[in-house]
Amino acid sequence: MVDHSIIVTGGSQGLGLELAKYHYHNNTNSCIVILSRSEDKLINAAKKITNDNFMNLKEFHEDKSRLYYYPIDLSNSSNVESLLPFLTKLPSIQRTYLTAGGASVKLFKDYSINELQQGINMNYSSSLFLSHVILKNHLCKHLIYFSSEVSFFPFIGYSSYTPSKTSLKSLVNILRQEFPDCRLTNVFPGNFASEGYIEENLTKPEITKDIEGSSKPISVEKCREIIINDIDKGYDDITTDFIGWVLMACDMGLNKNWNYSKFWFLQLILGVVANLFIIPVYMIILKYDINNFFKKHSKLTDKDKAQ
């Protein structure tokens, strides 16, 4: 018997799809709702989750299906507000995963204005509007946001992505003060092998790849496993790899943030030491590497013009 619901945005692919699949098969008393812009992708995703019946959320009936999809542009405030009547019909919403988003990685000058706006829509507005509707109407007491580990350390190439993810981090900190009775989790994933990761590497500048290093992305399944395990253990600031944990530590040390993370006391100590003695040296090295990149790029541009 279905007694609660779980909502997953960005549920048509990647981590969102993996989370929906996990809960559908492991929480048999739950109703799963996946949201995304494309109806075709949502239907394909639903087929990957189950061979049984699935339905459009407009046709919701708790005795007919456990899996529902709804095509919606979550960056459109009017669309999100129109979703409210459908959400109120659902059994008690236990969790809402705000996974919708994606990275486009280029130098700032290479973006179009439209691409910059898209970055804000996908990575901030889509979570902002839905969480407003949910929290204002007391529909769910556990929201899981998805920022990024680059929000701890912004660097070249991520100008359309990191500012929105950093804003999301700030939003969660504010909402924790305004909604103390709700559980608000913030996940800071590192690289994982999704469709989005493949796409972002197609345009990623070499200097960005150099700074990130040669870290191998974990699988989507492993990323989901880490997130679910940490949520179940009570952590609400979650990283998916060691470098993310270290970067979070640097963000905490000598800073105003208080995190509900794994080994937070060690992070505070490490953050203080790193910010006093390690980060200043690293920033000098980083600036040197970036300057060299632009000098090399400038020489190649001048050579092309001469030809």
Q: Are strands 142-146 and 183-188 parallel, antiparallel or unpaired?
A: parallel
Distance (Å) of CA 110 to CA 83, 88, 106, 155, 205: 36, 43, 6, 16, 11
Q: What is d(CA 47, CA 21) in angstroms, rounded to the nearest whole number?
A: 10
User: Does the annotation mark 288 as catalytic?
Assistant: no
Nearest to 264 by CA among 235, 301, 305, 231: 235
Q: What is d(CA 93, CA 15) in angstroms, rounded to the nearest whole number?
A: 20
Q: What is d(CA 74, CA 37) in angstroms, rounded to the nearest whole number?
A: 8
Q: What is d(CA 170, CA 239) in angstroms, rounded to the nearest whole number?
A: 16
List 75, 127, 147, 159, catalytic entry: 147
What is the longest distance spanned by two Cα atoms in the chain?
73
Distance (Å) of CA 264 to CA 149, 153, 248: 16, 18, 9
3-state helix, strand, coil in the chain (%, to 5): 55, 15, 30
Neighbour tally for 87: CB within 10 Å: 21
User: Does the annotation mark 161 as catalytic?
Assistant: yes
List 21, 106, 165, 169, catalytic entry: 165
User: Does the annotation mark 145 as catalytic?
Assistant: no
Q: What is d(CA 264, CA 196) in angstroms, rounded to the nearest whole number?
A: 30
List 161, 164, 167, 194, catalytic entry: 161
For residue 6, the surrounding DSSP H or E stretch is strand 4-9
Burial of 243 per CB tally in 10 Å (0-12, 13-18, 19+): middle
Burial of 302 per CB tally in 10 Å (0-12, 13-18, 19+): exposed
**Residues carrying an active site annotation:** 147, 161, 165
